[in-house]
Amino acid sequence: MDLKHLIIHEAARIDQVMREDIDRLADDLDPLLIEILNYGLFSGGKRIRPLLTILSARFFGDSNTDVYHLASALEYLHTATLFHDDVIDSGDERRGEATVYKRFGLSEAVLAGDFLHAHSMAMVGHYGGEAALSVFCQATRGMVDGEFSQLRNARNLNQSEADYFSVVMGKTALLIGAACELGALFAGADEHGRAGLRTYGINLGCAFQIVDDLLDYLGDTRKTGKAVGNDLMEAKMTLPLIYALQRADGADRSRLLEILSDDRARQECFQQVSGLIDKYHGFEDAGEKAKQVIGEAIAALPESAGDHSVQRSFLALSDYVLNREK
């Protein structure tokens, strides 16, 4: 099965497990909460995090279908963070639809996110045990710390590559690493196997974010479904921009800083900023960094103890992340 069909097939199974789970909860929970959960959980998404948990278990030869319940906890937590992120950012749309915050209200979005967070922890504890819950909570703590790092750096226009990856680790990579490690743990993998898949996932997450940075400047809106330039308008210090600022001569650096410091200029000067990033090879070198990180992800994969087609799926996922257009 090729990667596209694998993602579609497994996403459908994950959705089925989650729908059955929400249906079981319906008798005990407020109808509005159930409505919000159904709206937020089933509005699209490729289910990559739970897919990684399932593949990681199969990588070590475990085909127990309970892994789908464990995997769904990763999607619950991810969705909870989206609910909360949209409140923090006052986000109006996600995947072409009104955000939970916009449709149902601020308090409702926060509380529904809190519920999903608590429910995800309960499911990890039930299906993975204490060790799995420890891995899961460590990733969750890192995610919150990453958000604080981003808040602290929000107006720091002199960020380093290390500053950038500190935020990416917390916001994106740690949860993807945990998704892989939880699957390995579920399958009874030893520490070496768990560490290898954790490293694979963390690097996959870092590469995913770098490519996201590139698409925000270079993406085709017909494919990405969103306008370019959002990161610049929000003054986000993404990797291509960090590279350009580090290398720009005095006049160009001053101009970049001037634009970044002015709300109106950030909206009007996208092409100028994009041109300066290109001039100083910010896009090219960010792309090379993504390739390097993907190489490190693949190198970390241990010897498969299960179906070797799963290893091919991991390689295909790496290629997808590196070359995706949306």
How far is C-alpha 285 from the chain's CA centre? 22
The answer to whether residue 306 scores a pLDDT higher than 90 is no
Higher pLDDT pick, 204 / 228: 204
- What pLDDT sits at residue 43? 87
- What pLDDT sits at residue 153? 84
The answer to whether residue 257 scores a pLDDT higher than 80 is yes
> 241 and 282 in contact (C-beta within 8 Å)?
yes
Buried b (16+ CB within 10 A) or exposed e, 192-222: ebbbbbbbbbbbbbbbbbbbbbbbbbbbeee
Domains and CATH numbers, the chain: 3-318 (1.10.600.10)
> 277 and 177 in contact (C-beta within 8 Å)?
no
Listed ranges 41-55, 83-97, 148-162; the one with the highest mean pLDDT: 41-55
Q: What percent of the chain has pLDDT over 70?
A: 99
As beta bridge partners, residue 98 has 93
The DSSP H or E segment spanning 129 is helix 106-152
- What pLDDT sits at residue 225? 64
- pTM for the model stands at 0.93
How far is C-alpha 221 from the chain's CA centre? 20
How far is C-alpha 109 from the chain's CA centre? 20
> 276 and 242 in contact (C-beta within 8 Å)?
no
Q: How far is CA 162 from CA 126, 238, 242, 269, 292, in A?
A: 37, 12, 11, 27, 15
107-146 residue pLDDT tens: 999 999 999 999 999 999 999 999 999 999 999 999 999 8
